[in-house]
C-alpha cells in the first residue's frame, strides 16, 4: 500500500523573509569571527619580525649570563641590520594599512630597545653599530638564513665601492701652510710615509643614517625606571683665574670636573655666561694642548683675545684664508667653518688632544658638510 503525503506550504510574508535572512547573516558572522581572530593572531607570527624578536631575546639572555661570545656578537649585528631594513620596507609599503604599519613599527621599536639595553650592558657591542663596521662572512650567511626564515628573499649583493682615486666635483682646494710644514719637520719622530702603499678598499657604510640611534641614546641618558644617568659636577676648589679674574660657580664646576678626569662636556649656557672662558680653562686643567677651536667667522678674533686673557701662558693663532700668517707651533689653533675644509688634512695629522666646537648647531646632522670631516 502506498501512502502519499502532501505538505502544504504556507505563503511567506516579506517581513518574515527579511528576518530569516538577517538570522542567517548573524549565524555566519558568529561562525567566521573566531577564524578572523585566528588569522589576525597568525599574521603576528609570520614574517621577519618574529624571527628578529626570538633572536634578540637570545642575544639579551646570552649577554646577561656573562661575556658575549663571537656567535652572539654576530647575531646582534645581524639583528640590527635586519631591523633597519625591515623598518625601511614597512615605511615604503603602500599596500599596508596605517594601523598595521603603526603596529609593525612599534614592534620594531621594542626590538631596538632590547638592542640598546644589551649594548649598554656590554659596551664592546657598540663597535658593531658603527658606520664602518665590518660584516663578516658568518654574519652575511646568518643574515640570509634569517631573511629566508622570515619569508623574504635575501637582498642582492651590494655594488662595489667607487674608485678611491675619484674626487668629488665640489671638493675645495686643500692647502698646507709652510708654518705647519716647519712644525712637522721639527718633530724628530716623523710619521711614516704610506704614499707608496696600496690603498685599502673602502667598505660601504651599511649603518649610515641608522634610525635606531634614538633608543641607544636614551639608554645612555636614562637608567632603569627612567632615572637620569647624569653625574653631578664637583664643587669648585677655587673661583680664582689668571690676572685676578674671578669665575662664576658654574664655570668653576666645569673646570674642577676637567681636573678630576672628565673629558667631554656640552656647554649649553645662555650667551654672556662665559662659555669661551669655561672651555679654555677646562682645556688648561686637562692639559689638552695643542687645542683646536672650530668657531664661526665672526668670533674667531674674539677667541684669540679670550685665550690671551684666560690662558696667558698659551700661545694662540688664527687661520685666515690659506693660513700663510699662522704660527705653526701655537698651543691654540682657531679656525672658522668656512675655511675648515681647506685645512682639514693637516689639522687631522696634528691629532689635537683637545677640540672645542663653538655653535655646534653647524654640525648637528650628517647631511651638513662639516659633519663629514674627520679631525
Contact assessment for residue 310 and residue 281, using Cβ atoms and an 8 Å cutoff: yes
**Cβ atoms < 10 Å from Cβ of 219:** 18
- pLDDT given at position 373: 42
Q: Is residue 211 part of a domain?
A: no
Q: Point out the domain boundary residue: 124, 149, 174.
A: 149
CATH number at residue 306: 3.40.50.10810
The DSSP line for 230-280 is --PPPPPS--B-GGG-B--HHHHHHHHHHHHT-------PPTTS-HHHHHH
Q: What is the pLDDT of residue 32?
A: 52
Q: Are residues 245 and 360 in the same domain?
A: yes
134 & 240 share domain? no
According to DSSP, the residues that pair with 246 across neighbouring strands are: 240
Confidence (pLDDT) at 294: 94
Say what the pLDDT of residue 371 is.
46
Can you give the residue range of the structural domain that contains 69? Answer: 48-149
φ, ψ for residue 29, nearest 5 deg: -65, -40
Q: What angle do CA 102, 107, 109 make, to 5 degrees?
A: 95
**How many domains does the chain fold into?**
2
Query: Could you give the strand order of the β-sheet that contains 332-336, starting from the edge strand earlier in sequence?
Result: 316-318, 332-336, 291-295, 354-357
pLDDT value for 31: 54
Residue ending a domain, choose from 96, 114, 149: 149
Residue 260's Cβ-count burial label (10 Å; 0-12, 13-18, 19+) is: exposed
> What separation in angstroms does the CA of 246 have from each of 92, 251, 310?
58, 10, 10
CB 333 within 8 A of CB 317: yes
In this prediction, residue 135 carries a pLDDT of 87
How many Å apart are CA 154 and CA 232, to the nearest integer? 49
What was the pLDDT predicted at 232? 80
Quick check: is 40 in a domain? no
What's 296-365 look like in SS3? CHHHHHHHHHHHHHHCCCCCEEECCCCCCCCCCCCCEEEEEHHHHHHHHHHHHHHCCCEEEECCHHHHCC
Element (DSSP H or E) covering residue 295: strand 291-295
Q: Are residues 247 and 358 in the same domain?
A: yes
Domain contains 87: yes
Q: How far apart are CA 150 and CA 275, in angstroms?
A: 53
239 and 336, same domain (yes or no): yes
- The sign of the torsion formed by the CA atoms of 250, 255, 256, 260 equals positive
The one-digit pLDDT tens for each residue of the chain (375 residues) are: 555 545 444 454 556 555 556 665 555 555 555 555 555 455 567 788 999 999 999 988 888 888 888 888 899 999 998 988 888 888 888 888 999 899 999 999 889 888 888 887 787 887 887 777 888 888 899 989 888 888 877 766 655 555 555 555 455 678 889 888 888 778 767 666 666 666 666 555 555 555 666 666 666 666 666 666 667 888 887 888 888 889 999 999 999 999 998 888 888 888 889 999 999 999 999 999 999 999 999 999 999 999 999 999 999 999 999 999 999 999 999 999 999 989 998 998 888 999 999 987 666 554 555 444 444
Domain stop point among 149, 166, 190: 149
With 0.75 as the threshold, say if the pTM is over it: no
* Rounded distance between C-alpha atoms, residue 371 and residue 363, angstroms: 5
Q: Please tell me whether residues 119 and 247 are part of one structural domain.
A: no
Amino acid at each position: 500500500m502506498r501512502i502519499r503525503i502532501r505538505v502544504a506550504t504556507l505563503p511567506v510574508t516579506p517581513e518574515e523573509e527579511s528576518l530569516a535572512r538577517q538570522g542567517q547573516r548573524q549565524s555566519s558572522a558568529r561562525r567566521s569571527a573566531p577564524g578572523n581572530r585566528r588569522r589576525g593572531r597568525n599574521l603576528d607570527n609570520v614574517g621577519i619580525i618574529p624571527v628578529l624578536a626570538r633572536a634578540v631575546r637570545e642575544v639579551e639572555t646570552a649577554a646577561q649570563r656573562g661575556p658575549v661570545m663571537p656567535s652572539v656578537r654576530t647575531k646582534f649585528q645581524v639583528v640590527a641590520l635586519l631591523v633597519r631594513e625591515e623598518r625601511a620596507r614597512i615605511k615604503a609599503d603602500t599596500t599596508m594599512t596605517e594601523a598595521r604599519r603603526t603596529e609593525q613599527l612599534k614592534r620594531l621599536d621594542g626590538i631596538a630597545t632590547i638592542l640598546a639595553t644589551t649594548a649598554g650592558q656590554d659596551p664592546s657591542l657598540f663597535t658593531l653599530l658603527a658606520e664602518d663596521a665590518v660584516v663578516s662572512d658568518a654574519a652575511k650567511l646568518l643574515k640570509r638564513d634569517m631573511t629566508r626564515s622570515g619569508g623574504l628573499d635575501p637582498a642582492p649583493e651590494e655594488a662595489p665601492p667607487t674608485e678611491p682615486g675619484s674626487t668629488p666635483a665640489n671638493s675645495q682646494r686643500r692647502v698646507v701652510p709652510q708654518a705647519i710644514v716647519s712644525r712637522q719637520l721639527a718633530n724628530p719622530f716623523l710619521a711614516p710615509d704610506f704614499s707608496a702603499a696600496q690603498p685599502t678598499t673602502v667598505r660601504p657604510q651599511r649603518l649610515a643614517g641608522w634610525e635606531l640611534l634614538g633608543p641607544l641614546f636614551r639608554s645612555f641618558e636614562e637608567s632603569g625606571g627612567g632615572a637620569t644617568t647624569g653625574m653631578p659636577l664637583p664643587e669648585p676648589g677655587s673661583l680664582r683665574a689668571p690676572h685676578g679674574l674671578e669665575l662664576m660657580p658654574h664655570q668653576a664646576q666645569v673646570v674642577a670636573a676637567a681636573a678630576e678626569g672628565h673629558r667631554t662636556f656640552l656647554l649649553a649656557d645662555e650667551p654672556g655666561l662665559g662659555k669661551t672662558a669655561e672651555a679654555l680653562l677646562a682645556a688648561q686643567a686637562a692639559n689638552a694642548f695643542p687645542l683646536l677651536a672650530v668657531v664661526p667667522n665672526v668670533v674667531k678674533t674674539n677667541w684669540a683675545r679670550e685665550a690671551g686673557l684666560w690662558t696667558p701662558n698659551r700661545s694662540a693663532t688664527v687661520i685666515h684664508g690659506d693660513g700663510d700668517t699662522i704660527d705653526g707651533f701655537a698651543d691654540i689653533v682657531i679656525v672658522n667653518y668656512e675655511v675648515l675644509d681647506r685645512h682639514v688634512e693637516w689639522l687631522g695629522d696634528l691629532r689635537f688632544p683637545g677640540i672645542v666646537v663653538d655653535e655646534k648647531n653647524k654640525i648637528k646632522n650628517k647631511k651638513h658638510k662639516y659633519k663629514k670631516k674627520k679631525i
